[in-house]
Amino acid sequence: MQGGGGGVLKNIIKSLEAGANIEDACNAAKINQSTFWRWRQADPELEEKVQKIFEGYVQIIEGELIKKAIGQTIKEKHFNKDGKLVETERRIASDLGAIQYYLFNKSKGKWKSPYSNKIDINNQNTNKIEESKKYEKVPDGQLKKEFNRRRLSLSVSNKKES
């Protein structure tokens, strides 16, 4: 990485790796975002480093989305009424919104939302329910049924691995 300002650049990269967005990382390093942008354009190695950081966050966020869609069991430690530290398990239910979001975006067209953002001829953004013949509708209960089937198969495979 060549970049422009050695230590400044290292500080920006550290900030990005710690979770800062570009604006905050540049502000903390006391440089203008346009300067950092020019450095990225001039240095393919720097650009690749920044993209890898962002790709890592996408993977982390997808993992969290999947956990939310599937639900999870977490272990919690607390003191019981006798003052002893005990560990219990608590099940966090799946989230229907996370399930839908994941399926609508990752199922390669198998699951489609009945809602669509369209721009009409007057160039005004409208959010409409389209006619059912234009979109596949997910029958009532099918989404939950498919999710439960997959969750069961995941829990069975997880038990086999243990």
Say if residue 161's pLDDT is above 60.
Answer: no
pLDDT digits (tens, 9 = 90+) for 48-65: 999 999 999 999 999 999
Q: What is the pLDDT of residue 80?
A: 93
Residue 149 has pLDDT above 50, yes or no: yes
Does residue 86 fall inside a structural domain? no
In a domain, 75, yes or no: no
User: What backbone torsions phi and psi does residue 79 show, to the nearest 5 degrees?
Assistant: -95, 135
Residue 24 confidence (pLDDT): 96
* Whether 36 contacts 27, CB under 8 Å: no
Q: What does the alpha-carbon distance between residue 43 and residue 41 come to, in Å, rounded to a whole number?
A: 6
Would 44 be classed as within a structural domain?
yes
Residue 76 lies in a domain: no
Q: Which of 62, 87, 110 is the last residue of a domain?
A: 62
Residue 23: give the domain boundaries. 6-62
What lies within 8 Å, CB to CB, of 112 at 6+ separation is 104, 135, 136, 138
Q: Who's near 43: CB < 8 A, 6+ residues apart?
A: 1, 2, 3
- What is the total count of domains within the chain? 2
**Does residue 141 surpass a pLDDT of 90?**
no
Q: What mean pLDDT is predicted for residues 8-23?
A: 95
On whether both 100 and 150 belong to a single domain, the answer is: yes
Do 54 and 103 belong to one domain? no
Q: For residues 112 and 35, what is the distance between their CA atoms, to the nearest angstrom?
A: 42
Residue-wise pLDDT tens digits, 70-113: 999 999 999 999 999 999 999 999 999 899 888 888 887 777 77
